A and B are shown apart, each in its own frame.
Chain A
Amino acid sequence: MNEAEIPASQRIIGILWPSFLTAAAATVVFFALFDPVELLAYTDFADSSRVGVYTVGFFLFWLLTTTSSTLTSYFQRPTRTPG
């Protein structure tokens, strides 16, 4: 299977979607263990609402997992073209 034959849209979904799933799981576990209010009590973000922190936290996790998936996808490319 030639990598170049996979349409870009499917490659992008292949990166975003698994990272979305893992980020969602990470968000649930993380915020079940740590209460944002206590976590941010002594920082500049002390006034943030919990739901706001959950949302931002989810997107930060998603950014993290997307970065990881993108790197995996990038490193899977052949390092040289045959011939």
Chain B
Amino acid sequence: MSQTTVNSDSPPARGDNALEQSLYAKRERIYPREVHGLFARLRLTGVAALMGIFYFTPWITWDARQAILFDLPARKFYIFGITFWPQDFIYLALLLIVAALSLFFFTALAGRLWCGYACPQTVWTEVFLWIERKLEGDRSQQMKLDKAPWSGRKLAVKGGKHAIWIVLAAWTGYTFVGYFTPIRELGQSVLSLATGPWETFWIIFYGFATYGNAGWLREQVCIYMCPYARFQSAMFDKNTLIISYDAARGDPRGARKRSTDYKSKGLGDCVDCKICVQVCPTGIDIRNGLQYECIGCAACVDACDDVMEKMGYPKGLVRYTTENAIEGRPARVLRPRVLVYACMLLAVIGTVVGSIVTRIPVGLDVIRDRNSLYRETQDGLVENVYLLKLINMDDVDHVYRLTASGIPGLQLKLDRREVLAPAGAVVEFSARLQADPYDLGSQSTEVRFTLAAVADEAITTTEQARFIGPGSGR
């Protein structure tokens, strides 16, 4: 199998100049031919499911508010029953680690599954291509239309296509912003042309990105812009599932009649119809071996199987296989690389789920009053003042009680005995701590504030602070 283009970062060998230049040559427009078959159906299912999730999710209501809403102005993320705060940033970081590890795991196991079936670039390009096909016709009709001089019909077809693309892109931008601004209210303000400047900007920005990426850039995004496409080869090994042409069976290639005894003529199974090249969305010839442009969409597998069936040959001349299998060596699915990725993935997912389940929905920030170090009361005690910020991250109101510890005989003085915080609210209040200077070991002593909900002892949190004193107690 030719490996020349797998690792795009390696310096080109002498013979690769033509290839290297083609990478940077002016782009030739690719007209992917429509394809039917098992993998096309799988991809269509994936596209429909992911599109459905994306466009439908913001409309789900949960507890009288949008089920999934990233409320940036209020700095709160609502995901069904749970509200996340900036203090929960760790979950976002963990989620990104889960996403990265999943990508490693699935890449090692089955190659570019993500690219071929789930990547938004693939999904939207697929939809845009479908619209194009409905209006302009199949591959050859599209090519003919592009070559033809401008006419009323061409203007109408092209104009109609772009109009539909723009409407879909605008709806996509609106849906995207709907994840950050309540989508129903956003819809009303869009209809009355009263969206805020930033909402308008992001709807247009995201809509334009969709239109540009899926309508115009297409495979160039994968080839030139996608970091994953460049580094995924690092996760490949000889047991990774790839799409490959079986050269031993197919070569030498050549056209022939269905009835010909091609084997006696010294021909392989490949009829050299080039349909696998025509269906490729990135315009490569899979028969040249594994190439980094290949997004693993399996369009060529479907196309070739179709031809093989018509010729009465066994299917699978181009198929999902592994480098080992092609070379006749045993292929192993469970190997150290896959197991390590799987264990890491399970460990991080377990951590995330575990910490969300045991998450305590109250937060406390303690800031020492910086205006004065300390003051002495009339009774000869040392007093420090603190500003406390209580965040009720639960979705019900709570009454909290505050205690302090860390110094013998420490006294906590509050304006009110209990603090009421409505659901999802931040309450700020001040607290004074008083201690006998005799009990202070040093100038700065650690103290702990403990906040507990009156109704539910499990909702409690402890925060540390420093107590400053004269430091000459003993």
Contact = CB atoms under 8 A, between A and B. Distances in A.
Interface of A: 1, 5-7, 10, 13-14, 17-18, 21, 28, 32-33, 35, 49-52, 54-55
Contacts of B12: 1
Interface centre among B12, B72, B199 (most CB of A within 10 A): B72
B26 A7 contact: yes
Given A32-B92, A54-B72, A49 B26 contact: no
Given A7-B26, A50-B73, A51-B72, A32 B198 contact: no
Nearest to B26: A7
A28 B20 CA distance: 37
A28 B202 CA distance: 16
Given A1-B20, A32-B86, A51 B224 contact: no
Nearest to A20: B225
B310 interface: no
Nearest to B89: A32
Contacts of A32: 86, 89, 92
Contact of B225 (A7, A17, A33): A17
Interface size class of B (residues with CB under 8 A): 20 to 34
B21 interface: yes
Contacts of B180: 51
B75 interface: yes
Interface in B81-98: 86, 89, 92
B201 interface: yes
Contacts of A17: 225
Contact of A6 (B24, B197, B227): B24
B227 A33 contact: no
Given A14-B224, A50-B72, A50-B73, 7 more contacts: A13-B225, A18-B227, A21-B227, A33-B89, A35-B86, A50-B75, A55-B202
A6 B24 CA distance: 6
Interface centre among B21, B201, B225, B227 (most CB of A within 10 A): B225
B75 A35 contact: yes
A51 B24 contact: no
B434 to A, nearest CB: 29
A29 to B, nearest CB: 8
A10 B224 CA distance: 8
A35 B86 CA distance: 9
B169 to A, nearest CB: 18
Contacts of B199: 51
B15 interface: no
Contacts of B198: 49, 51-52, 55
Contacts of A50: 72-73, 75
Nearest to A34: B86
A51 to B, nearest CB: 5
Contacts of A14: 224
A21 B228 CA distance: 13
A51 B70 CA distance: 12
